[in-house]
Amino acid sequence: MPLAQSGGSNVGSSQIIDNEIIDADINDGAGIQISKINFGTGLTNSHINVSLIQTALISLTSAELKNLHTTPKELVAAPGANKIVIVEQVIFYFTYVAPAYAGSAEFTISYNGSATKLVVNSGQMASTANLVQYWNVDDAVTTITDGTNKAVEAKNQGSAFITGNSTVKLDIKYRIITL
């Protein structure tokens, strides 16, 4: 049994028929927009334009940070054949917990197995205070030659941190592009 609804000047009309929502907005000045979601089959990745900006929120514990030199942390999964993850920006949240990290570590974000560093954070891991950093990645990297079908990961390019209890949260904005 269909359920129909209509409303004010910008609402248009919507219907639910046989487990489907059909929404048509054809009011003057609103243009024409038609969307359809079939609840019988559900919403899948094929319904999502993956070239749009996506977000990943990742937390790294003190133990993970201390082991980054041998065990990188995956931040964005490999996207599949003939695709590349384009990191747009990273917000780095460092929550200080004594003692400070020590060692010659260089916190980086890069493609799995790649020499291309998307973000380099030298020195901030030894901070003795909370801090927030914002990186606009497209300013730092102009040519990517080795990122096809590769995960994006956090690494420690130097030696292991030998002390430290702080944590890191990363807010990553990225797109997946088909080559």
Local confidence pLDDT in tens for the 179 residues of the chain: 444 444 444 445 555 555 555 554 445 554 444 444 444 555 455 545 556 899 999 999 999 999 998 999 999 999 999 999 999 999 999 999 999 988 767 888 989 988 777 887 777 888 899 999 988 876 555 567 778 899 999 998 878 888 899 999 999 999 999 88
pLDDT of residue 2: 45
* Residue-level pLDDT at 158: 78
Three-class secondary structure assignment of 44-87: CHHHCCCCCCEEEEEEECHHHHHCCCCCCEEEECCCCCCEEEEE
**pLDDT the model gives residue 50:** 54
Domain spans in the chain, listed from the N-terminal domain onward: 3-46, 54-178
CA 118 distance to own-chain centroid: 13
Helix, strand, or coil (residue 119): strand
pTM over 0.85: no
Predicted pLDDT at 59 = 97
Q: What is the pLDDT of residue 41?
A: 52
Which pLDDT score is estimated for 72?
94
Contact between 55 and 171 under an 8 Å Cβ cutoff? The reply is yes
Q: What is the pLDDT of residue 157?
A: 81
Question: Domain 54-178 - what CATH class?
Answer: mainly beta
